[in-house]
Amino acid sequence: MNSDISSTSSKAGASLARKHLVLIVDDVPENLQVLAGHLTELGYEILAASNGPRALALARNRKPDLILLDIMMPGVDGFSVCQDLKSDAELSDIPVIFITARTETDDIVKGLQLGAVDYVTKPFKPAELLARVRAHLELKTTRDMLLTYNKQLQRIGDHLRRMNDDKNRFLSIVSHDIRGAFGNVVSVSRLLTDGTEVQGEEATDLLRDIGVEAEHMITLAQNLLNIDAVERNELKLKTESVICSLLLDFAFQTHQMAAQAKNLNVLVTPDDSIIAGDGTACRQILSNLISNAVKYSRTGGSVWIESKKQPDGFVKLSVMDEGPGLSAEDQKKLFLPFTRLSSKVSATEHSVGLGLSIVKLMAETMGGRVLCESALGQGATFSVFLPSA
């Protein structure tokens, strides 16, 4: 690097330059000073190293946007430094410009083959060198932006694929449930209207079957509306006083027909606590938990529903069943929408996999949380903790 570098860089350009970090590597201190002066004048931030190992250490500690690298240095030369840079996944994208007095074509070709983006021979004109620095920094900025956009597009594409998979799974599950529910209703209706003699308890059972399917379809419709409101960011919950005794009774009555159809023993134990939350959301939460407990309970089993005020200022709503229980693997994906679990409901019942995701969403929106305690073959207990009034 020679000393004929004159002050040809314009100070007007300094205000236009971006704050890039440039690493200068040269074993001659005077050369470092001269180059650093010109680059600083243009507004660049400078790192300086007098040997190859020091340059690599600086680059790994604080990744520069560009490296100006001398070739002829004692010990580790510039070619070796460039090779080490390009073999490091974290540093390989840094543009390297060689600056050297060696002008042989073989040296130039070797430098470019090692991954350098440019080659400037000494003595050089400062304006030319600085123009190349600016050009390669702009190219790197553009390349980095493109990489960022590509990553964003990749994430968007992955998200859209997941959404499409969810949509297809959702349509498959919902269409299956709708066909099943209405198929049962149609079958029962035909038995009641085709002239067959149906009386007394048998007629009552058939009408109950219609009611059970209607309850299921109402729950499905409400969950779908809630999911749609979430996706549109339109789920608005208010805060009011929700009396637990009334809440538990209402939620149980909603699923009474389904419980009677399986001859379940349902024990409702409310206390005098009051929740500070949205009444409709509280009913929806408890309704989904009771619906699941009824679906997964064996015929003639028991379901427990209770509310209990906690010492930490929350009210605990619990629904416990004697169903097949949940594996550790199932418990990891309990609250994901449209998720089928390994535990199966009976052939005449349906599960879209929306209920628990709605429970979690609404509970957290009201400042609460959901807990599941279960083991395979030992039933399940779902507890929702909501703020006490």
- The domain spans of the chain are 17-149, 238-387
The confidence score (pLDDT) of residue 277 equals 92
Most confident segment among 17-21, 120-124, 262-266, 329-333: 262-266
The pLDDT of residue 173 is above 70:
no
CA gap 168, 243 in Å, rounded? 40
Fold of 17-149: Rossmann fold (3.40.50)
Residue type, 3: S
Contact indicator for 48, 24 with CB cutoff of 8 Å: yes
What residues are paired with 388 via a beta bridge? 275
Contact indicator for 95, 117 with CB cutoff of 8 Å: yes
User: Phi first, then psi: what are they for 134, rounded to 5°?
Assistant: -60, -45
Q: CB neighbours (10 Å) of residue 151? A: 10
Q: Which residue has the tokens 């201190």?
A: 29
Band (213; pLDDT cuts 50, 70, 90): low
Q: Superfamily for 238-387?
A: Histidine kinase-like ATPase, C-terminal domain (3.30.565.10)
Q: How far apart are the first and last CA of the chain?
A: 78
Longest Cα separation, the chain:
113
The pLDDT of residue 170 is above 70:
no
The pLDDT of residue 314 is above 90:
yes
Query: What average pLDDT score do residues 128-153 get?
Result: 90
**Tally of helices (H runs) and strands (E runs) in the chain:** 11, 12
The percentage of the chain sitting over the pLDDT mark of 70, rounded to a whole number, equals 72
Angle at 35 between CA 31 and CA 41, to 5 degrees: 150
Query: What average pLDDT score do residues 68-78 get?
Result: 89
**Residues 324, 327, 329, 334, CA torsion sign:** positive
CA gap 374, 292 in Å, rounded? 14
